[in-house]
Amino acid sequence: MAKFEDCLQRLEKIVQELEAGDVPLEKSLALFEEGMQLSASCRKELEEAEGKVEILLKQNGKLQAEPFESLTEKASGRK
């Protein structure tokens, strides 16, 4: 699997090609499909990274790591 940065860079190139508007329909569809797969891959990597992020809190004069809780987790009451 490609790195996040590589996927994002390829996704940006696909968007530029599609926005230029001079790509044949068949190639546009193939680029769109590739772009959707790359987007899903990037989103998955971001979600995995989000789960690993920790927030440091100062409690009783000590820094203590606490798991990051996303806005969606807070809204649903999950941890």
Q: Structural domain boundaries of the chain? A: 4-76
pLDDT of 31 reads 96
Can you list the pairs that 29-33 forms with residues at least 24 positions away whose Cβ atoms lie under 8 Å? none
More confident position, 27 or 2: 27
Instruction: State the average pLDDT over residues 26-53.
Output: 89
Per-residue confidence at 79, pLDDT binned at 50, 70, 90? very low
Mean pLDDT, rounded, for 51-66: 64
Write down the pTM of the prediction.
Answer: 0.61
pLDDT at 34: 96
Helix/strand/coil for 73: helix
